[in-house]
């Protein structure tokens, strides 16, 4: 209505001016401001928004920022702790719980990608089960619609902790979308103008470059991320809401009834104690990357109005590989961790995640008694088959069931093999005291050493399958 009035006023002025320009002057509609977000939170499951809700409560209530949330799955594979429904029915319930939790914080713009809740620690499993490409396209479309300055998401990496493949896959999708959304040649149908009155396919969006990404991690050892990004207080009292930010976040989280076996009082008790609360005081947002100036520890919105200094036309930032492996210059043959570890070794430099704090030594937590699978990649001369010997040094009581000994590798640049190790079943008492243990796998080719792989493994009472 307002736009219509404005148009009439313009028209009158031009007619009075006695020109014919009035007929040519049309108001062109801009992007819908109702859907603009300052912060876009992209998380895997309903309830994962809680990684960031104390900050969101502050941003919405006391910084006048707009927050929108995207969930990559509707959470159908977890346990229902509240009622009978499971699987797809529980996913329907969890979608409503998520919308209610967000609404309590003042977040109305909530979307869901099409990922299936995939119970595994393997990021590549999640990406495959979701349909990596289709969901990346959806996410890029939502970034172009919401035009966020800042995105908060899960840490794409492997740590001893919950280490959910869906969390990691969400961090991977966001990192990719961050690098793609400003490129007009990527998913161009999203940018094309409508061609017919009842447009079905073309979105008429515009390219968009978010400025910064921050990560939240579910690693057991949260201390390793101290100093890796800006910190904020979760215990501070909101001047407008007269409650601490952690409490606003908790009140929202209470909507996730299917995920909680505790009473409201038990929640209250747990979260009000800084020692048992989900959110440490202060909390750290782990800096991922930025296309504006400033340091990793700067405030989230520092330099946010600057023009991005990296356009899609520039080559991907290269920041060198993490660790010894993968530089491409070392002597071959060479053994390294394969599978998901190899994926991340290539993913970080490819996406300019140069400052990311990865685990000092590769690590993983598995269920005590489960078979640990260690994927390996051996790079070698591709001109001829290569005889290799693998020696595995496992902790006492662990049993190597497959993968050690002699191999002849085919004539190719990189060959994947895997070592299988049966882990001991520990008692509840032993599990309480369990600390991570180191595993060594060394390779020998033609009587000469060809590198060594080390992996830190924690046996846990429960863990998602590898």
Binding site for Zn ion (CB under 5 A): 44-45, 48
Structure tokens belonging to residue 264: 């409201």
- In the numeric block, the tokens 């909101």 are attached to 238
Cβ-based nearer residue to Zn ion, 72 or 436: 72
CB nearer to Zn ion: pick between 115 and 288: 115
Between CA 37 and CA 281 the distance in angstroms is: 26
CA distance 94 to 46: 6
CA proximity to 417, closest of 383, 441, 393, 397: 441
- Closer to Zn ion at the Cβ: 120 or 272? 120
Question: How far apart are CB 54 and Zn ion at their closest, in Å?
Answer: 17
Q: Residue 450, Cα to own-chain centre: how many angstroms?
A: 34
How many CB atoms within 10 Å of residue 17? Answer: 9
User: CB of residue 91 vs Zn ion: minimum separation in angstroms?
Assistant: 13
Taking the complex as a whole, how short is the minimal distance between the CB of residue 267 and Zn ion, in angstroms? Answer: 18
Q: How far is the CB of 29 from Zn ion (least distance, A)?
A: 38
Q: How, if at all, do strands 363-367 and 110-115 pair?
A: unpaired
Give 137 or 166: the residue with its C-beta nearer to Zn ion.
166
Smallest distance, Å, CB 218 to Zn ion?
8
Shortest CB 126 distance to Zn ion, Å: 11
Cβ-closest position to Zn ion: 45
Query: Cβ 44 to Zn ion, closest distance in Å?
Result: 5
Nearer Cβ to Zn ion (216/244): 216
- Output the smallest distance, CB 352 to Zn ion, in A: 26
45 or 116: whose CB is closer to Zn ion? 45
């Amino acid at each position: 209505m307002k736009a219509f009035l404005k148009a009439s006023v313009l028209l009158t002025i031009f007619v009075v001016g006695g020109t014919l320009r009035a007929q040519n002057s049309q108001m062109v509609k801009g992007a819908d401001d109702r859907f603009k977000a300052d912060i876009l939170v992209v998380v895997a499951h309903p309830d994962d928004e809680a990684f960031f809700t104390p900050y969101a409560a502050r941003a919405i209530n006391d910084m006048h920022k707009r927050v929108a949330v995207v969930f990559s799955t509707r959470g159908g594979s977890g346990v229902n702790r509240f009622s009978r429904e499971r699987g797809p029915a529980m996913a329907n319930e969890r979608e409503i719980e998520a919308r209610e939790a967000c609404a309590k914080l003042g977040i109305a713009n909530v979307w869901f990608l099409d990922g299936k809740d995939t119970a595994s620690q393997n990021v590549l499993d999640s990406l495959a089960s979701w349909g990596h490409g289709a969901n990346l396209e959806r996410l890029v479309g939502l970034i172009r619609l919401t035009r966020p300055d800042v995105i908060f998401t899960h840490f794409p990496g492997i740590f001893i902790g919950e280490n959910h493949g869906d969390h990691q896959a969400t961090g991977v999708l966001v990192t990719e979308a961050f690098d793609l959304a400003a490129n007009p040649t990527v998913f161009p149908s999203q940018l094309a103008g409508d061609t017919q009155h009842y447009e079905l396919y073309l979105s008429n969006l515009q390219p968009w470059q978010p400025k910064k990404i921050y990560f939240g991690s579910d690693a057991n050892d949260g201390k390793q991320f101290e100093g890796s990004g800006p910190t904020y207080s979760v215990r501070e009292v909101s001047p407008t809401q007269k409650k601490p930010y952690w409490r606003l976040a908790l009140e929202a989280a209470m909507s996730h009834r299917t995920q909680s076996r505790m009473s409201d009082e038990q929640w209250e008790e747990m979260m009000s104690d800084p020692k048992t609360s989900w959110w440490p005081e202060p909390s750290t947002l782990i800096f991922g990357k930025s296309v504006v100036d400033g340091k990793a520890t700067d405030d989230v919105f520092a330099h946010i109005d600057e023009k991005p200094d990296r356009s899609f036309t520039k080559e991907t930032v290269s920041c060198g590989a993490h660790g010894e492996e993968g530089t491409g210059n070392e002597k071959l043959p060479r053994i390294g961790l394969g599978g998901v570890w190899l994926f991340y070794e290539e993913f970080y430099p490819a996406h300019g995640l140069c400052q990311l704090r990865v685990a000092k030594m590769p690590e993983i937590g598995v269920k005590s008694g489960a078979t640990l699978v260690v994927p390996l990649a051996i790079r070698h001369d591709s001109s001829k088959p290569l005889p290799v010997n693998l020696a595995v040094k496992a902790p006492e009581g662990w049993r190597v069931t497959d993968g050690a000994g002699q191999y002849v590798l085919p004539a190719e640049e990189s060959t994947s093999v895997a070592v299988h190790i049966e882990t001991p079943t520990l008692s509840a008492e032993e599990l309480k005291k369990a600390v991570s243990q180191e595993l060594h796998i060394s390779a020998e080719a033609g009587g000469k050493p060809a590198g060594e792989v080390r992996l830190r493994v924690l046996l846990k009472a429960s863990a998602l399958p590898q």
